[in-house]
Structure 1
């Protein structure tokens, strides 16, 4: 492989905020970056060397874009995997590998992978017909998930009783036994081509109940050493079993009995790692680049208590974004604001994030709650 800091051309499929933050780190490494995204106003458009507007699901578009680069990575899983496979055959490096992306695109295959590799996860059943759903082996209540294209809470449906079956998905799906969980937690793990693996410290998450996406994240966790170690070992095992090259976010539940169950995987930088930019020795974005360039992985230790808040578009507002309260927030010490460059807001759209760092954990949480109440995206 060419030296990453020289003539190597890196392609990113997806031009959203994850790609934007990846480019910000790539600039420090003098990496040439090209981006493909269907939105001509995508957050990456002004930061990369070359921005191409085109569909991520179209074979020819992805293939032709990939032929212009030496190494291709993703910031979103919904891409044409057939094109990635052909590019790999022709010598383009694709990290994470096409086979990993194909598996993770399908939540049914993900679950089967967990089962085959003894990864702890909730009891599940693959559903391919309405009849199977009506005669499922899993009792109420349970969660139904579309096998494909679900993200940020979309494609997830709660089935509490038989009455809820009227609104159930008819597309291929899976159902999972309802988990009575204590906390939602996550570990980000990286693996390079040489097989070196490193995990970031466990984080605890709170989800927006309406949008069902991460709204508040605390790092590091104060859960017991045993739980943190077990979560890290699970993430390490998954990365090794997949033989992934790149970053992998492992979302998990900690149930009421102290058992860890893996929920889902994301083979890319993830919302549960944004706090690492200010809160850890190496950020998730730098670690992803180190992994795909087959460089030594960085130190993932926490530098401080770090609280991350997603800045979401307010309900009832749609149009040009106005960041109400940003001046008050910027007056606070230890507050780092990241705006994603999205011109238009709409309800629950991810418009940015804020990280609050402080040596005093409770003070960091208190300040984060203030930021959460003060900074609003309206129109």
Structure 2
């Protein structure tokens, strides 16, 4: 096979940028089709959100360290394209400040792909948009800069395997968590005070995972009142569905009658049929990409499974075959079902090692109980 050595540094740099562009579009833009769409279907900013050519735009992606917290672009002909193409399903959420705009993306790549069939940009909200700016703009600018710095330092430290690099990565993780907590606290405060207007409704839909189920229930009547008087607001209508499902994760709720495929044999079963009265049941969500959570589940099963605690694993994996591979690798054999969109929607879980503890009466007692706390609870029960 003949190989060609590229001597020109400029050519090598151009090729690296081209490769980065394609990879980013494949990740964020929904595959090769997204790469094509990004050129063909760019849409201009609309309404109150028009900006002048040459304006710099900052892209803020909360809770998305692995793909980079911030990117930037310059507006040309009333539209802009980031390094991964002109992303669709994004919303401009700020007004110019010293020639810059902030653009907020959804919090996960999955949601960004779900938005891909909708309008590309900008839902202008008039006065409420200015309200968001006054209340949130400085915080987000500072937090965005902090996240930008952390993401680059964190990714650099992961490459270096020495002890100091690992310690630095752990410290950056802690800083990242604090930054996210600060952002979450501000969003919760903004929504709680302003859920009666369009921006509050939009924020609540985008960031509902930041709200406890109890707080979501408390906000429910205000959301319903707004939705009745704004029937054309799709965000409010979608929120009502989410709030009804929120009842599934409140204390005292029963297991929802959702159907999943058992990992070991591929048989469809109802989740509520796996909860056994007379013993506590832990419904544990785990990911095939998170070996630590699977190992912890396996340890719990070996120590306490089948005694006073029944453990039902809900595996977030692309296939039953991959889930089965992880179950065997980490010794997590037991009752495991494959997660699907219905289960995720009913529990409001789209990622992460979440769990739900049901009592001997089959009613929900606790959410997100640590493995250590569970083991201590079981030890006390056996004494």
TM-score (norm 1): 0.28
Which has the bigger relative contact order, CA under 8 A and spacing at least 6? 1
Over alpha carbons, which structure has the higher Rg? 2
Structure with bigger helix share is 2
Structure with bigger strand share is 1
